[in-house]
């Protein structure tokens, strides 16, 4: 059985879906006012792996992750650039799609835009109004936090102990500093929609409540996002959803991924330790970045550095070289049957992989299981050649786990015909013991970015 760490209960629990064999997941997506950064990538990859593993385990998954395309940040940035908010989102969303795609993140089953769900937001606010949870000030409709006695249950904070911080809006007239806006009245030059309270636009928190309701219903299995969203965003989502849908509604489980730290400090623009995915991709393959994320359990912080990326690059290269070697040997190998030793190694590796992934999606342990398997296979290959069926069995197992990890297999690069001819010429020189010619061709290929590796079964190449 899969165990997950539930932020609400602050412990690992057995995952029991609302509907047997099905999982509904909502993950808070980015506010699309600027390019994706490492923190966005970390969250996207974390929940991508969780989604993939549920599929691996045979669940039917409905995965919803939104784009927030209307809020203060969107409006401010659009004004800075002299374009409309819609033009800004149309420009930035493709950047996210490209960067997430490069990281191997599967496209969500549903990827809603906040601006497409304003009617649902209005309906939710009306429901809160009927329950007596709202009041009106000169700039909008507010939620009265004191009316929801369980406010703070997700973040484990008591209302009387809370202090006003950077993510809580200060406003004269609010009954509590932690009361939050549900509907903001129209200001000159801002996008607006009609509502029973007048022209305006939704507050940030109400957006996700409306989108989860629209696409997953009043109650669903998992709500996820970055740890920084626990308070106030997710806390407010609960507070505004349960009064309308009933106690125990909304998300059954809450999951949060850890921060990206730089030199042990949380990555942020204000500290100047901020990295976009585009910047990182200019130096490192996106699969290396994904692999770096997988080396750390999703709930733990990633202490980012170039050293960490270099280590990930080296570790991933070993896996890619192993797969490349297996494929090179496959064509020349003889037929046969899978030995008992290899069958046992595959079974043990799969059991280890599933055991650690069942335990709250421990990708670090999963990679460990893969490396241990690779080590065992290399020992077998050093002792005796694997036949074609055995090589295929190894590759099939790696392909199976890579449906979850998404890092082991890459689209193989191709080489030009003249490079192929050079490799053939070098093989002939080696056969004739003309090592001077052989080394000269190796150096020429290296200048073209082609590295050759001479194996007992033949020469394999890779691009660097």
d(CA 313, CA 334): 33
Closest to 374 in 3D by CA, of 336, 402, 345, 331: 345
DSSP state of 251: E
User: 304 has which bridge partners?
Assistant: 262
* Residues 306-405, CATH architecture: Up-down Bundle (1.20)
Which CATH architecture describes the domain 3-257? 3-Layer(aba) Sandwich (3.40)
DSSP conformation letters of 179-198: -EEEEEEP-TTS--B--TT-
Residues in CB range of 398: below 8 A, 6 or more apart: 323, 370, 408, 409
Listed in order, strand segments (DSSP E) in 293-377 are: 302-304
**CA–CA dist 195, 193 (Å, integer):** 6
Please indicate, yes or no, whether the overall pTM of this predicted structure exceeds 0.85: yes
The answer to whether 197 and 141 have CB atoms below 8 angstroms apart is yes
How far the first Cα of the chain sits from its last, in Å, is 42
DSSP state, residue 233: I
Q: Which two tokens stand for residue 85?
A: 């908010």
- If DSSP codes are grouped into helix, strand and coil, which group holds residue 8? coil
How many Å apart are CA 210 and CA 213, to the nearest integer?
A: 5
pLDDT tens digits for the chain (464 residues)? 999 999 999 999 999 999 999 999 999 999 999 999 999 999 999 999 999 999 999 999 999 999 999 999 999 999 999 999 999 999 999 999 999 999 999 999 999 999 999 999 999 999 999 999 999 999 999 999 999 999 999 999 877 666 544 455 666 789 998 999 999 999 998 999 999 999 999 999 999 999 999 999 999 999 999 999 999 999 999 999 999 999 999 999 999 999 998 877 777 666 667 789 999 999 999 999 999 999 999 999 999 999 999 999 999 999 999 999 999 888 888 899 999 999 999 999 999 999 999 999 999 999 999 999 999 999 999 888 899 999 999 999 999 999 999 999 976 545 556 666 677 777 776 767 766 777 777 776 776 667 766 655 456 665 55
Structure tokens at 115: 């601006």
């Amino acid at each position: 059985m899969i165990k997950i760490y539930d932020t609400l209960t602050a412990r690992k629990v057995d995952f029991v879906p609302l509907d047997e064999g099905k999982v509904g997941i909502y993950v808070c997506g980015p506010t699309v006012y600027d390019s994706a950064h490492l923190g966005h990538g970390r969250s996207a990859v974390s929940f991508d792996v969780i989604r993939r593993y549920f599929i691996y385990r045979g669940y039917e998954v409905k995965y919803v992750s939104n784009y927030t395309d209307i809020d203060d940040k969107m409006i401010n940035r659009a004004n800075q650039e002299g374009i409309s908010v819609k033009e800004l989102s149309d420009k930035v969303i493709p950047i996210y799609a490209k960067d997430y795609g490069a990281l191997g993140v599967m496209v969500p089953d549903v990827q809603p835009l906040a601006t497409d769900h304003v009617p649902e937001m209005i309906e939710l606010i009306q429901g809160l109004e009927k329950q007596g949870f709202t009041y009106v000030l000169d700039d909008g409709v507010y939620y009265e936090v004191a009316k929801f006695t369980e406010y703070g249950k997700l973040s484990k904070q008591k209302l009387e102990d809370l202090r006003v911080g950077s993510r809580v809006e200060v406003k004269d007239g609010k009954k509590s500093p932690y009361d939050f806006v549900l509907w903001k009245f129209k200001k000159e030059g801002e996008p607006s929609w009609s509502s029973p309270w007048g022209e305006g636009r939704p507050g940030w928190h109400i957006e996700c409540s409306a989108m989860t309701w629209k696409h997953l219903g009043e109650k669903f299995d998992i709500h996820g996002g970055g740890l920084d969203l626990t308070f106030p965003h997710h806390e407010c989502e609960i507070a505004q959803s349960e009064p309308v849908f009933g106690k125990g509604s909304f998300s059954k489980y809450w999951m949060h991924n850890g921060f990206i730290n730089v030199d042990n400090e949380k990555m942020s623009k204000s500290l100047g330790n901020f990295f976009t995915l585009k910047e990182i991709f200019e130096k490192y393959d996106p699969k290396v970045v994904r692999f770096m994320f997988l080396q750390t359990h999703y709930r733990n912080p990633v202490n980012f550095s170039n050293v960490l990326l270099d280590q990930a690059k080296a570790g991933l290269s070993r896996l890619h070289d192993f797969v490349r070697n297996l494929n090179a040997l496959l064509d020349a190998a003889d037929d046969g049957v899978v030995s008992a030793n290899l069958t046992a190694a595959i079974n043990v590796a799969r059991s280890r992989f599933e055991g650690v992934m069942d335990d709250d999606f421990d990708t670090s342990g999963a990679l460990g299981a893969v490396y241990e398997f690779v080590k065992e296979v290399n020992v077998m290959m050093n002792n005796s050649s694997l036949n074609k069926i055995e090589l295929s069995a190894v590759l099939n197992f790696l392909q199976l786990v890579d449906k979850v990890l998404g890092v082991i297999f890459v689209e193989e690069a191709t080489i030009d015909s003249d490079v192929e001819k050079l490799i053939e010429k070098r093989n002939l020189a080696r056969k004739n013991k003309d090592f001077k010619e052989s080394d000269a061709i190796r150096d020429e290929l290296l200048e073209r970015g082609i590295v050759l590796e001479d194996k007992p079964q033949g020469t394999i190449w890779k691009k660097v």
